[in-house]
Amino acid sequence: MTFRALESNVTYVITSPCIDVRDQSCVDVCPVDCIHFEEDLDRMLYIDPDECIDCGACEPACPVSAIFAEDDVPASEQAFIPINRVWYQDRDQARREVETAHG
Ligand code: SF4
Ligand code: SF4
């Protein structure tokens, strides 16, 4: 187990306002390059919860306020907490879940 895993389980999460915006302002400010997507396949971006260092730099950079600390994700956006993680394990599954959560 890594020190980081022992230290914290909290991460930052991208939620539905990112869908179809994808301007990548968050990518520009992330110091550990842990925000990713596939340009032709994804409607939003995803934060890698295992790489995120919880610095918070991305949150104010987002023009549509799509990024929250995991503990602050609004009730209506809770589905996006697992979606960010799932994308790093099964991208197609995450895309299906985005469509379901987005309605
Ligand atoms: S909180 Fe920091 S490390 Fe995590 S995704 Fe945002 S900018 Fe990157
Ligand atoms: S800054 Fe916000 S809208 Fe832009 S890609 Fe990142 S999460 Fe999506």
Amino acid identity of residue 23, one-letter, is D
**Could you tell me the pTM of the whole model?**
0.92
What is the rounded distance in angstroms from the CA atom of residue 100 to the CA atom of residue 68? Answer: 20
Q: Residue-wise pLDDT tens for the chain (103 aa)? A: 455 545 556 899 999 999 999 999 999 999 999 999 999 999 999 999 999 999 999 999 999 999 999 999 999 999 999 999 999 999 999 999 999 998 7
- pLDDT score, position 19: 98
- Judged by its nearest atom, the ligand closest to the C-alpha of residue 16 is 2
- pLDDT score, position 10: 80
Backbone angles phi, psi at 31, to 5 degrees: -75, -15
- pLDDT score, position 83: 98
Measured in angstroms, how far is the CA atom of residue 14 from the centroid of ligand 1?
Answer: 10
Q: Whose CA is nearest to atom 1 of ligand 2?
A: 62
Q: Whose CA is nearest to atom 5 of ligand 1?
A: 52
Largest Cα separation within the chain, whole Å, is 39
Domains and CATH numbers, the chain: 8-102 (3.30.70.20)
What is the rounded distance in angstroms from the CA atom of residue 37 to the CA atom of residue 14? Answer: 12
Looking from the CA of residue 25, the nearest atom of ligand 2 is 1
